[in-house]
Amino acid sequence: MLDIRPSCECCDTDLDPTSPDVMICSYECTWCLECATTVLRGRCPNCGGELARRPVPSASRLLDDPPSTNRVFNPDCRPVPA
């Protein structure tokens, strides 16, 4: 079962568990679509792996197995402005 994390690790934006615009790597590092494409360019900064769309669980599945409340945030993923 996926650990459906509640926020983007790069910008800390809240992520809806039913959104199709959430990206993960094979270790379930979690990113919003904007950070995944513009900042990370499709690669996980933690493992170097490819980012793919997180599967969207059914509403009944979310009731039986709720999303994680554990936020992971790494502000170092964003480049420092010059």
CA distance 70 to 67: 9
- Give me the CATH topology for the region 1-73: Herpes Virus-1 (3.30.40)
Is residue 79 over pLDDT 90?
no
CA distance 15 to 23: 10
pTM over 0.85? The answer is yes
Chain segment 25-71, per-residue pLDDT in tens: 999 999 999 999 999 999 999 999 999 999 999 988 899 999 999 99
CA distance 30 to 38: 15
Chain segment 9-22, per-residue pLDDT in tens: 999 999 999 999 99
Q: Token pair for residue 45? A: 């900064």
